[in-house]
Structure 1
Amino acid sequence: MPERRPCYACSKADAAVGSPPSSGNGCARCRKSTSWTRSTRRPAGRPSRTLFSTSAPSGRRGTNGAAMRVLPVGWAVPVSRPDLRRRHAVALARATHTDEESIAAACVMAALSAWSVESVRLDAVLDAGREEAEWALGQFTGAAGVREFLDALDGRWRPPVEGIGLAAGETIAAVAHVLAEAAAGETLSDALLRAVLLGGDTDTVAALAGGILGGQAPEAATDLP
């Protein structure tokens, strides 16, 4: 019988937040029953990346569902405990998304929501998101799509003409694009309208941007029609 080991993405995520590795019959984290057989060609304990990886298939990217539902993690965990926030964000993401782009995007959104309720300027919230994106890129080799978020903060990202798709990195880049304009003086209504006018998956982008802006300035909700 082949020996059961944790899946590749969960092993990486555990290492990133300092959790002990998963073990048992299949992955104890995401419940995937992934197996591999020890090979004399590899040192004992090293899994085959090809057999073990749970990242999205070639040509496909991780989607935005994990980032879409993670804001409450940031609101609930104080910014003084980033490791705990990351642990919860990763665990919530892995319930449905085991690819690294989705997990990293969830960590970025959790950081934004955590800082949005700290009575700081929106610029400081975006700086925290930048730091989290840079951390995620250093931790997750499959999270290159998160670079779009950094590009959006730096003004180098442009929304696709066909609208925002479901890719996690593209979604959080769109959120960054909307928040950056809001930091320049837009009202909450203006920001949500901008999110909707991007086209595509507008409900996700508007909900995430609205959640961050509403946390950062709750009184801004009076601006809504």
Structure 2
Amino acid sequence: MSDRSVAEDRAKAALIGGALGDALGMPTQLFSPDQIRETYGFVENFVVPVPDHPVSKGLPAGAITDDTEQALLLAQILLESDGAFDHHRWVNALVEWERDVKARGSYDLLGPSTKRAIDAINSGTPPEEAGRDGDTNGAAMRIAPVGIMMPSDAPAALVAKVAETCRATHNTSMAIASAAAVAAAVSHGVSGGDWRDVVRHAIGAAKLGAGHGHWVAGPDISARICWATDLVRNEPAERAIGLISELVGTGVASQQSVPAAFAVLEVAQGNPWRAAVISANLGGDTDTIGAIAAGMAGACAGMNSLPQNRIAELNGLDMGIVETLATKLVAERFRRFGGEEAA
């Protein structure tokens, strides 16, 4: 295949892989590993959430959540923004999105950092100031489109675009470093790169990302990613799940869930569906960790690596929209920056 065809294939796999991880983790999010085992057993197929689930109740098996929907929304705003990212259009789109999901009866709404920032902007706070306290994983969970659009061989430009899209809701060093690591991993995959080199690209991007936004106290994201992947290397999945849950952490904090996603990628050996399965059984923010890990894996492995029967079982994902957005983002990548070689 040509570089352009590879990029389009990898871009679609990044978005669809992310949706698979999101949907598989949807019923188990917020549960502890013990609760997951008691309620569902070992999750390796799409299951219906329990009737009293705090955020997933009423959703069918295989339903995507805010992780996938906001990633696709960000892709649209990136394509609609002429040059500089349109913060006001982005914030208005998020508000409209939340209104729509409420009308659909969903309980999985905007995350704490995004909600707080939108309330501030609607009260007159400039977008560049509204996100100064946003340090959770909301930016990282939806950042894949930036990785698709921006080339991996221009890390400073990629991280600058990540920071630009984070400004209104997650304008902190922690969130930007985390989102930059994920975007760099996706971009590396879209360029034709292998999952084994992902951590190197992610660490470099995280270091650059930490220089953007408002500083917040917390561990170095690049060091956490390196440590988390080393922690689980060559460990069997069952033990790795325990190590990630107990030591890395699986909460909404960027310094937990993003290193956890890279650890999952390591345990899964770059296999998107295996990454989704491991994530779904971790406990905590399983849908977001799954979306990030399986999305990065998909970007590095392509559409042939994704289980077609599982894709057919997804609920709420319009494949036509996914393919159109992936193709347009890749077109922007080549229009603005030309071809590139995987590093």
Report the TM-score when normalising by structure 1: 0.67
Question: Aligned pair count?
Answer: 174
Bigger relative contact order, structure 1 or 2 (CA pairs below 8 A, ≥6 apart): 2
Give how far 1:66 is off: 0.7
Partner of 1:101: 174
Which of 77, 88, 97 aligns to 2:161? It is 88
Partners of 1:168 and 1:90 in 2: CA distance: 15
Partners of 1:197 and 1:105 in 2: CA distance: 22
Identity %: 28
Partner of 1:16: none
User: Which region of structure 1 is more displaced relative to structure 2, 149-158 or 126-135?
Assistant: 149-158
Give how far 1:82 is off: 1.9
Considering only aligned residues, what root-mean-square deviation do their CA atoms show, in Å?
2.9
Q: Deviations over 1:117-137 (max 9, x none)?
A: 122221112221122233345
Which of 281, 285, 293 aligns to 1:201? It is 285
For residue 145 of structure 2, what is the amino acid of its counterpart?
P
Give how far 1:84 is off: 2.0
For residue 114 of structure 1, what is the amino acid of its counterpart?
S
> Which stretches in structure 2 are left out of the alignment for 5+ residues?
1-123, 233-239, 311-343
Partners of 1:83 and 1:70 in 2: CA distance: 16
TM alignment of 1:24-63, pairs within 5 A: 29-32=127-130, 54-55=132-133, 62-63=135-136
Give how far 1:207 is off: 0.7
Partner of 1:168: 254
Partners of 2:187 and 2:277 in 1: CA distance: 24
User: Which region of structure 1 is more displaced relative to structure 2, 169-178 or 94-103?
Assistant: 94-103
Which of 184, 208, 228 aligns to 1:135? It is 208
Give how far 1:93 is off: 1.1
- Is the counterpart of residue 148 in structure 1 residue 224 in structure 2? yes
**Paired residues of 1:149 and 1:170 also in contact (CA < 8 A):** no
Partners of 2:169 and 2:210 in 1: CA distance: 21
Residue 128 of structure 2 aligns to a residue whose secondary structure is coil
- Is the counterpart of residue 188 in structure 1 residue 272 in structure 2? yes
Q: Deviations over 1:42-67 (max 9, x none)?
A: xxxxxxxxxxx9346xxxxx210011
Residue 144 of structure 1 aligns to a residue whose secondary structure is coil
Pick closer, same or farther for the CA change 1:136–1:224 going to 2, 3 Å.
Answer: farther
Which of 201, 215, 225 aligns to 2:299? It is 215
Q: Deviations over 1:54-89 (max 9, x none)?
A: 346xxxxx2100111111101111122222211210
Q: Deviations over 1:84-113 (max 9, x none)?
A: 211210011122112221111111111111
Give how far 1:31 is off: 4.9
Moved over 3 A (4+): 26-29, 53-56, 134-143, 160-163
**Paired residues of 1:67 and 1:93 also in contact (CA < 8 A):** no
Q: Deviations over 1:2-57 (max 9, x none)?
A: xxxxxxxxxxxxxxxxxxxxxxxx9865254xxxxxxxxxxxxxxxxxxxx9346x
Partners of 1:80 and 1:113 in 2: CA distance: 12
Report the TM-score when normalising by structure 2: 0.45
Partners of 1:89 and 1:102 in 2: CA distance: 10
Higher-helix-fraction structure? 2
**Paired residues of 1:29 and 1:94 also in contact (CA < 8 A):** yes
Residue 30 of structure 1 aligns to a residue whose secondary structure is helix
Give how far 1:167 is off: 0.2
